[in-house]
A and B are shown apart, each in its own frame.
Chain A
Amino acid sequence: MRMPKNRGPVRPQAEETLDAARLELGNDFQEAECLLISEVRVLLEAQYDAKKEDKNLKEVYTKTLEYVQKFSRYTNRDTIKEVRALLKPTELEAFECAQLGNLCCSEWEEAKSLVPSIGSKISDDDLDSLLKQMDSLKKYQG
């Protein structure tokens, strides 16, 4: 999930040129923040009561809420903070960090195959170590 920063009128690129494998996300999304599925879950759940009371439960919202509840990896905010702290010092872009947090790969080969734009931005060993740490956080979260 992404949040574009407001940068004034920009001409949108042709859709065909966009490619996640080469991290070409277009002008609107290239510099955007990418949320983890678990982060989206926190945000959407916080809005649920107000939306229900206003009778403003749109299908896009409820389908997304159901999805993030099903696929959320981290159960509490502290764990999410720790995952973010692990990802921050790497040279990886926002999209790549979010993908790693969401897909929870077990070793570097899987991660570099599913998120090919990572390439040589991080060494295989460092990535393996990062993935193992993220996995521990997930295993031992409250």
Chain B
Amino acid sequence: MREFVTKRLYQDVEGTCTGRYGYIVAVVAIMDIKMGKIIPGLGSAEFEVQYSAILFKPFRNEVMDAVVNTVNKIGFFASAGPLNIFVSHSLIPADMEFDPHTNPPSFHSEDIKIEKGTLVRVKISGTRIDATEIYAIGTIKEDYLGVIE
């Protein structure tokens, strides 16, 4: 029974995302499984499980590294694991301009280029959370941010 509850915990909880805890990436350890209670009327049993897990929650003003996925004229999208971060052109240094003619399209200045696959250091400027997903916006317009060599 314990094995069944453990498997169900992994299936139900891993991969979910809430505003409060962020992404539940992986359950690491199960500390306690309380005795099951039958739910009247449903015929199913409810188990309270105490467990520890790896969570990923982005915070405003947190700096993290990310991989650029798409670039268009309004900015670029980058991902840090399951989290998508949008960096608007207004939060990209002014000397970088969008160039639709490069293949793939990119933002570039004289010596730096941002395109799909580029690694960037981003500061999270805000997060919006709906029921099951986190949307983050970021900036690279400050010191020590931007393309990572």
- Bound complex: CA of A61 vs CA of B17, how far in Å? 12
Chain B, residues 114-136, CB within 8 Å of chain A (1/0): the string is 00000101011001010000000
CB distance from B4 to the nearest CB of A (A): 13
Apart from A58-B14, A68-B81, A113-B142, 9 more pairs, CB < 8 Å: A4-B21, A6-B50, A20-B59, A43-B28, A44-B25, A59-B82, A61-B26, A64-B23, A70-B67
**Residue A125 lies at the interface, judged by CB distance under 8 Å to chain B:** no
CB nearest neighbor in B for A12: B20
Are A19 and B60 in contact (CB-based, < 8 A)? yes
Which B residues lie within 8 Å of A70 (CB)?
67, 119
Which A residues lie within 8 Å of B52 (CB)?
3, 6
- Bound complex: CA of A44 vs CA of B50, how far in Å? 20
Q: How large is the interface on A (under 10, 10 to 19, 20 to 34, 35 or more residues)?
A: 35 or more
Question: How many residue pairs at the A-B interface have CB separations less than 8 Å?
Answer: 106
Are B127 and A71 in contact (CB-based, < 8 A)? no
Chain A, residues 35-70, CB within 8 Å of chain B (1/0): the string is 100001001100100000010101111011011101
Which B residues lie within 8 Å of A71 (CB)?
65
Are B59 and A25 in contact (CB-based, < 8 A)? yes
CB nearest neighbor in A for B129: A15
For B14, give its contact among A12, A21, A60, A67 (CB under 8 Å): A60
